Amino acid sequence: MSVFTRRVRGFRLIDVVALGLLVLLIMSVYLAKTMASRERAQIAQVEREISAETARIRLLEAEVAHLEQPSRIERLSSAYLEMGPVTVAQEATPETLPIVALPEVSRP
């Protein structure tokens, strides 16, 4: 008796094996599609997070640009720190740099 002619409950053994392989193939395709769908959802979630972070980065860069405006810094320094432009008497020349670098106690 060969595998092709042997019968199990009225069915040829080769037909039973082929049906089992077909069911196994269908289940594996179903599982592969399910896993691919989950990964697709995860990828979409990560892409949404990336776009949200990109928008936040653009917002923060705009805020930094606003905070670094020279006119704003000048206005704040004069209002809160009472700072103003450097006068000629306050300027240091290369010859006076060693004197300026000395500690306050040892200056002449």
12 CB-contact burial (10 Å; exposed 0-12 / middle 13-18 / buried 19+): middle
Whether residue 10 is predicted with pLDDT greater than 80 in this model: the reply is no
Confidence of residue 57 (pLDDT cuts 50, 70, 90): very high
Give this prediction's pTM: 0.53
Domain ranges of the chain: 7-83
Q: Report d(CA 8, CA 17) in Å as an integer.
A: 11
